[in-house]
């Protein structure tokens, strides 16, 4: 007989989806395969994401998933944003990161910290036609994100921003930037402040676009602020709250990077499995050789383990429960396995795996950044160990 204090109900697996989530997932998966997939190679070679696809992201509601319906958004959940990033990334991780940055970092920063007037002004645009970008990193501040040199001088009606940002995702397409500068340098990181900077503000411009190893269709650019006047009403939160805003938004964004990486890994596994079934050696498909079968099995275990970590962190966030450590674990592990699974997928393909005729070559290149951006693997380990040893 079961103990009285134990539930006899079968627990729902972390990877189990509600019916609404299944419908949402299948619609994004179908869109990714039918509309994005045909253009992936061309976009990678050109180093540019198609504007018509971004327009379709908006039309489908993928750029405003958590934005309330009153502002033109979908009124959905963070978990749905994670599903969208995963499904797009299984086809093209560049597509996944565009949707990721928009939803889990920029939109959520405005939803959490924006004033009523800021929400009324910008959320309808972010849901309908304006790409957003998150501008924190600089030449001298990467993992030490708050050793920033960009300054904001308070001149009553406006802040004058001077400096520059590097490695800013979505910058080529963005019309709005959540940008950080230090308004009180003498206070150190306690002076860091967040601003909503429109692309057309005088003194602001997007500079060089980086020529990258992977995620080539996703733009990564420098930003130049030469006495950029930002109206006081575009101060996000309060002066000195930038540290808190950045940390809280990045913690959420790391879950979505985990989703990007599990999508990438799943895509690599699917390509490897399909190739193993059709590629013949010694008179039979290589999938019949135990060495290949076991390699595919280990790849599948890695993907499922990473998915459990990512989904768990996303569910915790939606439930309003602490998720800092779980987000770090999800981001760390998924980025590690994405690189490993993509590498193994290339090996399963043999010689053709390193050619551009097969998608695994691109996925392998795309995977490398997962261990670096939005907090390196070492930063995630530092976060995890801090909680472990507290």
pLDDT tens string 25-83: 999 999 999 999 999 999 999 999 999 999 999 999 999 999 999 999 999 999 999 99
User: 384 and 297 in one domain?
Assistant: yes
Question: How would residue 285 be classed by pLDDT, with cut points 50, 70 and 90?
Answer: very high
Q: Which of 95, 129, 163 is the last residue of a domain?
A: 129
End-to-end CA distance of the chain: 39
In this structure, the answer to whether residues 266 and 381 fall within a common structural domain is yes
Q: Which CATH number do you get for residue 201?
A: 2.40.110.10
Of 10-19, 204-213, 381-390, where does mean pLDDT reach its minimum?
10-19
Name the domain boundary from 78, 101, 129: 129
* Helices (H), ranges, the chain: 19-31, 40-46, 51-59, 78-91, 93-100, 108-113, 116-128, 242-278, 290-318, 324-349, 360-367, 377-388
Left (φ > 0), alpha (ψ -120 to 50) or beta: where does 18 sit? beta
* The model's pTM: 0.95
Confidence of residue 12 (pLDDT cuts 50, 70, 90): low
Asked if residue 2 has pLDDT above 60, the reply is: no
Which residues share a beta bridge with 164?
A: 224
Helix (H) or strand (E) run with residue 236 in it: strand 235-236
Output the domain CATH number for residue 35.
1.10.540.10
Alpha-carbon span 328 to 382, nearest angstrom: 9
- Beta strands (DSSP E) in 74-233 are 132-135, 151-154, 158-169, 176-182, 192-198, 204-209, 220-231
Q: Is residue 137 part of a domain?
A: yes
Residue 338, pLDDT > 70, answer: yes
pLDDT tens digits for range 222-269: 999 999 999 999 999 999 999 999 999 999 999 999 999 999 999 999
Average pLDDT, stretch 163-181? 98
Which residues belong to the active site? 374
Positive or negative: CA dihedral 68, 72, 76, 81: negative
Final residue before a domain boundary, out of 129, 164, 192: 129
Q: Are residues 254 and 280 in the same domain?
A: yes
Tens-digit pLDDT profile for residues 97-128: 999 999 999 999 999 999 999 999 999 999 99
In this prediction, residue 3 carries a pLDDT of: 43
pLDDT band at 7 (very low <50, low <70, confident <90, very high): very low
Residue-range definition of the domain harbouring residue 78? 19-129
Q: Could you give the number of structural domains in the chain?
A: 3
Looking at the fold, whether 140 and 215 belong to one and the same domain comes out as yes
Predicted confidence at residue 143, as pLDDT, reads: 79
Residue appearing with tokens 């970590």: 309
């Amino acid at each position: 007989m079961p103990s009285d204090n134990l539930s006899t109900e079968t627990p729902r697996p972390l990877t189990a989806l509600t019916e609404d989530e299944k419908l949402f997932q299948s619609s994004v998966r179908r869109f990714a395969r039918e509309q994005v997939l045909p253009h992936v190679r061309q976009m990678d070679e050109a180093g540019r994401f198609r504007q018509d696809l971004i327009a379709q992201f908006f039309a489908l509601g993928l750029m405003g998933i958590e934005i309330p319906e009153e502002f033109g958004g979908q009124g959905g959940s963070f978990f749905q944003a994670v599903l969208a990033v995963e499904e797009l990334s299984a086809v093209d991780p560049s597509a996944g990161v565009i949707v990721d940055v928009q939803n889990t970092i920029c939109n959520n920063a405005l939803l959490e910290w924006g004033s009523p007037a800021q929400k009324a002004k910008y959320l309808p645009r972010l849901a309908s036609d304006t790409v957003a970008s998150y501008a924190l990193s600089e030449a001298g501040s990467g993992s030490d994100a708050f050793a920033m040199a960009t300054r904001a001088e308070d001149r009553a009606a406006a802040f004058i921003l001077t400096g520059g940002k590097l490695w800013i995702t979505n910058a080529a397409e963005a019309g709005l930037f959540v940008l950080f500068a230090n308004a009180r340098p003498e206070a150190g990181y306690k002076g860091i402040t967040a601003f909503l900077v429109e692309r057309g503000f005088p003194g602001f411009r997007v500079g060089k676009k980086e020529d990258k190893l992977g995620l080539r269709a996703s733009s990564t650019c420098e930003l130049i602020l030469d006495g950029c006047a930002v109206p006081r009403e575009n101060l996000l939160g309060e002066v000195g709250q930038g540290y808190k805003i950045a940390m809280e938004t990045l913690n959420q964004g790391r879950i979505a990077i985990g989703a990007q990486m599990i999508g990438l890994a799943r895509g690599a596994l699917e390509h490897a499995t399909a190739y193993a079934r059709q590629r013949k050696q010694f008179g039979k498909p290589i999938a019949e050789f135990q060495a290949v079968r076991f390699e595919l099995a280990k790849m599948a275990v890695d993907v499922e383990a990473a998915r459990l970590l990512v989904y768990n962190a996303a569910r915790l966030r939606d439930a309003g429960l602490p998720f800092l450590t779980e987000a770090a674990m999800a981001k760390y592990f998924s980025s590690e396995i994405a690189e490993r699974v993509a590498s193994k997928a290339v090996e399963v393909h043999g010689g053709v795996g390193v050619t551009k005729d097969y998608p695994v070559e691109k996925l392998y290149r795309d995977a490398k950044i997962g261990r670096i951006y939005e907090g390196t693997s070492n930063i995630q380990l530092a976060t995890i160990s801090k909680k472990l040893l507290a």
